[in-house]
Structure 1
Amino acid sequence: MTVLHHEHPTHAHAHGPDCGHRAVDHGDHVDYAHDGHLHREHSGHWDECEPAGHVSHEAHAHEHGPDCGHQSVTHGDHLDYVHDGHRHAAHDGHWDDH
Protein backbone atom coordinates (compact mmCIF):
# COMPACT_ATOMS: atom_id res chain seq x y z
CA MET A 1 0.00 0.00 0.00
CA THR A 2 1.27 3.43 -0.89
CA VAL A 3 0.84 6.25 1.58
CA LEU A 4 0.48 9.70 0.10
CA HIS A 5 2.70 12.40 1.54
CA HIS A 6 0.31 15.13 2.65
CA GLU A 7 1.99 17.36 5.18
CA HIS A 8 -0.30 18.78 7.84
CA PRO A 9 0.75 22.45 7.45
CA THR A 10 -0.05 24.08 10.80
CA HIS A 11 0.18 21.25 13.30
CA ALA A 12 1.91 22.74 16.36
CA HIS A 13 0.75 19.99 18.74
CA ALA A 14 3.41 17.36 19.45
CA HIS A 15 1.81 13.90 19.60
CA GLY A 16 3.21 11.33 21.97
CA PRO A 17 2.29 8.71 24.58
CA ASP A 18 0.72 11.27 26.94
CA CYS A 19 -0.79 13.78 24.48
CA GLY A 20 -4.39 12.60 24.95
CA HIS A 21 -4.94 11.38 21.39
CA ARG A 22 -5.38 7.71 20.51
CA ALA A 23 -2.17 6.10 19.26
CA VAL A 24 -2.58 3.49 16.54
CA ASP A 25 0.26 1.17 15.51
CA HIS A 26 0.36 1.24 11.71
CA GLY A 27 3.03 -0.84 10.03
CA ASP A 28 6.43 0.67 10.90
CA HIS A 29 5.11 3.83 12.60
CA VAL A 30 2.44 5.17 14.97
CA ASP A 31 -0.55 7.21 13.79
CA TYR A 32 -2.37 9.57 16.15
CA ALA A 33 -6.14 10.03 15.77
CA HIS A 34 -7.00 13.72 15.88
CA ASP A 35 -10.22 15.45 14.74
CA GLY A 36 -11.29 12.53 12.52
CA HIS A 37 -8.01 12.05 10.72
CA LEU A 38 -4.69 10.40 11.45
CA HIS A 39 -1.27 12.01 11.74
CA ARG A 40 2.15 10.43 11.59
CA GLU A 41 5.50 12.00 12.36
CA HIS A 42 7.77 12.29 9.33
CA SER A 43 11.08 14.14 8.95
CA GLY A 44 10.33 16.78 11.60
CA HIS A 45 6.70 17.47 10.62
CA TRP A 46 3.31 15.71 10.76
CA ASP A 47 1.71 14.04 7.72
CA GLU A 48 -1.88 13.06 7.11
CA CYS A 49 -1.72 9.27 7.00
CA GLU A 50 -3.98 8.34 4.09
CA PRO A 51 -3.87 5.41 1.69
CA ALA A 52 -3.53 5.99 -2.03
CA GLY A 53 -6.42 4.52 -3.98
CA HIS A 54 -8.74 1.67 -3.10
CA VAL A 55 -7.05 -1.35 -1.52
CA SER A 56 -9.42 -4.20 -0.73
CA HIS A 57 -8.40 -6.54 2.09
CA GLU A 58 -8.99 -9.92 0.46
CA ALA A 59 -10.22 -12.97 2.39
CA HIS A 60 -11.10 -11.03 5.53
CA ALA A 61 -13.93 -13.10 7.01
CA HIS A 62 -13.87 -11.42 10.45
CA GLU A 63 -16.71 -8.93 10.98
CA HIS A 64 -15.51 -5.86 12.86
CA GLY A 65 -17.89 -4.07 15.19
CA PRO A 66 -18.28 -2.64 18.71
CA ASP A 67 -17.59 -5.99 20.43
CA CYS A 68 -15.07 -7.58 18.05
CA GLY A 69 -12.08 -6.96 20.32
CA HIS A 70 -10.17 -4.70 17.93
CA GLN A 71 -9.44 -1.04 18.60
CA SER A 72 -11.58 1.36 16.58
CA VAL A 73 -10.63 4.86 15.52
CA THR A 74 -12.76 7.55 13.91
CA HIS A 75 -11.47 8.33 10.44
CA GLY A 76 -13.42 10.97 8.57
CA ASP A 77 -17.01 9.76 8.17
CA HIS A 78 -16.40 6.13 9.22
CA LEU A 79 -14.62 3.89 11.73
CA ASP A 80 -11.39 2.05 11.02
CA TYR A 81 -10.58 -1.07 13.00
CA VAL A 82 -6.94 -1.72 13.91
CA HIS A 83 -5.94 -5.27 13.07
CA ASP A 84 -2.43 -6.72 12.69
CA GLY A 85 -0.68 -3.34 12.27
CA HIS A 86 -3.08 -1.88 9.74
CA ARG A 87 -6.57 -0.43 9.67
CA HIS A 88 -9.68 -1.91 8.09
CA ALA A 89 -12.69 0.10 6.96
CA ALA A 90 -16.05 -1.28 5.80
CA HIS A 91 -16.70 -0.48 2.14
CA ASP A 92 -19.37 -1.84 -0.24
CA GLY A 93 -19.67 -5.26 1.42
CA HIS A 94 -15.95 -5.85 1.98
CA TRP A 95 -13.11 -4.46 4.10
CA ASP A 96 -10.55 -1.99 2.77
CA ASP A 97 -6.95 -1.84 3.94
CA HIS A 98 -6.05 1.63 5.18
Structure 2
Amino acid sequence: MTTLHQEHTAHGHSHGPDCGHDQVPHGDHVDYAHNGHLHREHGGHWDECEPDGHITHEAHEHRHGEGCGHAGVLHGDHIDYLHDGHRHAEHDGHWDDH
Protein backbone atom coordinates (compact mmCIF):
# COMPACT_ATOMS: atom_id res chain seq x y z
CA MET A 1 0.00 0.00 0.00
CA THR A 2 1.30 3.43 -0.87
CA THR A 3 0.23 6.84 0.31
CA LEU A 4 -0.77 9.53 -2.12
CA HIS A 5 1.29 12.73 -2.08
CA GLN A 6 -1.39 15.36 -2.13
CA GLU A 7 -0.40 18.72 -0.70
CA HIS A 8 -3.00 20.39 1.51
CA THR A 9 -2.80 23.96 0.24
CA ALA A 10 -3.54 27.00 2.38
CA HIS A 11 -3.08 25.06 5.60
CA GLY A 12 -2.07 27.78 8.07
CA HIS A 13 -2.33 25.61 11.19
CA SER A 14 0.85 23.95 12.46
CA HIS A 15 0.19 20.56 14.00
CA GLY A 16 2.18 19.31 16.95
CA PRO A 17 1.83 17.53 20.29
CA ASP A 18 -0.23 20.35 21.81
CA CYS A 19 -2.30 21.49 18.80
CA GLY A 20 -5.51 19.82 20.01
CA HIS A 21 -5.90 17.31 17.16
CA ASP A 22 -5.65 13.54 17.56
CA GLN A 23 -2.21 12.14 16.79
CA VAL A 24 -2.15 9.01 14.66
CA PRO A 25 1.14 7.06 14.53
CA HIS A 26 1.74 6.04 10.93
CA GLY A 27 4.98 4.23 10.10
CA ASP A 28 7.89 6.66 10.48
CA HIS A 29 5.76 9.78 11.12
CA VAL A 30 2.67 11.08 12.89
CA ASP A 31 -0.56 12.03 11.12
CA TYR A 32 -2.95 14.53 12.66
CA ALA A 33 -6.72 14.11 12.39
CA HIS A 34 -8.19 17.46 11.36
CA ASN A 35 -11.71 18.13 10.06
CA GLY A 36 -12.29 14.50 9.09
CA HIS A 37 -9.03 13.94 7.24
CA LEU A 38 -5.40 13.28 8.07
CA HIS A 39 -2.44 15.61 7.68
CA ARG A 40 1.26 14.87 7.79
CA GLU A 41 4.19 17.24 7.62
CA HIS A 42 6.31 16.76 4.52
CA GLY A 43 9.00 18.97 3.02
CA GLY A 44 7.86 22.18 4.70
CA HIS A 45 4.15 21.76 3.91
CA TRP A 46 1.23 19.56 4.99
CA ASP A 47 0.04 16.59 2.95
CA GLU A 48 -3.29 14.83 2.95
CA CYS A 49 -2.28 11.40 4.18
CA GLU A 50 -4.60 8.93 2.53
CA PRO A 51 -3.93 5.31 1.59
CA ASP A 52 -3.92 4.28 -2.04
CA GLY A 53 -5.84 1.05 -2.50
CA HIS A 54 -7.95 -1.29 -0.42
CA ILE A 55 -6.10 -3.49 2.07
CA THR A 56 -8.11 -5.97 4.13
CA HIS A 57 -6.75 -6.63 7.62
CA GLU A 58 -6.79 -10.42 7.60
CA ALA A 59 -7.74 -12.40 10.71
CA HIS A 60 -8.86 -9.34 12.66
CA GLU A 61 -11.35 -10.76 15.11
CA HIS A 62 -11.57 -7.76 17.46
CA ARG A 63 -14.71 -5.65 16.98
CA HIS A 64 -14.00 -1.94 17.24
CA GLY A 65 -16.59 0.45 18.55
CA GLU A 66 -17.46 2.64 21.50
CA GLY A 67 -15.74 1.27 24.60
CA CYS A 68 -13.41 -1.12 22.73
CA GLY A 69 -10.31 0.48 24.26
CA HIS A 70 -8.93 1.93 21.01
CA ALA A 71 -9.07 5.61 20.09
CA GLY A 72 -11.54 6.50 17.36
CA VAL A 73 -10.65 9.19 14.81
CA LEU A 74 -13.13 10.81 12.46
CA HIS A 75 -12.05 10.10 8.87
CA GLY A 76 -14.39 11.39 6.21
CA ASP A 77 -17.77 9.69 6.66
CA HIS A 78 -16.61 7.00 9.11
CA ILE A 79 -14.50 6.36 12.22
CA ASP A 80 -11.05 4.80 12.05
CA TYR A 81 -9.75 3.02 15.14
CA LEU A 82 -6.09 3.24 16.15
CA HIS A 83 -4.79 -0.26 16.79
CA ASP A 84 -1.19 -1.49 16.96
CA GLY A 85 0.21 1.59 15.19
CA HIS A 86 -2.22 1.66 12.28
CA ARG A 87 -5.84 2.52 11.53
CA HIS A 88 -8.70 0.11 11.09
CA ALA A 89 -11.91 1.04 9.31
CA GLU A 90 -14.98 -1.19 9.03
CA HIS A 91 -15.83 -1.99 5.41
CA ASP A 92 -18.24 -4.54 3.91
CA GLY A 93 -18.14 -6.90 6.89
CA HIS A 94 -14.38 -6.80 7.43
CA TRP A 95 -11.74 -4.35 8.69
CA ASP A 96 -9.49 -2.40 6.34
CA ASP A 97 -5.91 -1.68 7.30
CA HIS A 98 -4.95 1.92 6.57
What is the rounded CA distance, in whole Å, between the counterparts of 1:72 and 1:14 in structure 2? Answer: 22
Q: CA deviation at 1:24?
A: 1.2
Q: TM-score, normalization: structure 2?
A: 0.96
Where do 5+ consecutive residues of structure 2 fail to align?
A: none
Q: CA deviation at 1:75?
A: 0.1
Report whether the alignment pairs 1:86 with 2:86: yes
What is the rounded CA distance, in whole Å, between the counterparts of 1:73 and 1:2 in structure 2? Answer: 21
Q: Which residue of 2 aligns with 1:14?
A: 14
Q: CA deviation at 1:71?
A: 0.8
What is the rounded CA distance, in whole Å, between the counterparts of 1:5 and 1:97 in structure 2? Answer: 19
Matched position secondary structure for 2:52: coil
Q: Which amino acid in 2 is paired with 1:77?
A: D
Aligned residue runs from structure 1 range 36-51, under 5 A: 36-51=36-51
Matched position secondary structure for 2:31: strand
Matched position secondary structure for 1:25: strand
Identity of aligned residues (%): 76
Q: CA deviation at 1:12?
A: 1.1
Q: Which amino acid in 2 is paired with 1:70?
A: H
What is the rounded CA distance, in whole Å, between the counterparts of 2:97 and 2:49 in structure 1? Answer: 13
Q: CA deviation at 1:35?
A: 0.5
Q: CA deviation at 1:44?
A: 0.8
Where do 5+ consecutive residues of structure 1 fail to align?
A: none
Q: Which amino acid in 2 is paired with 1:43?
A: G
Deviation per residue, 1:59-87 (Å, 9 max, x gap): 11111011110111000000000011110
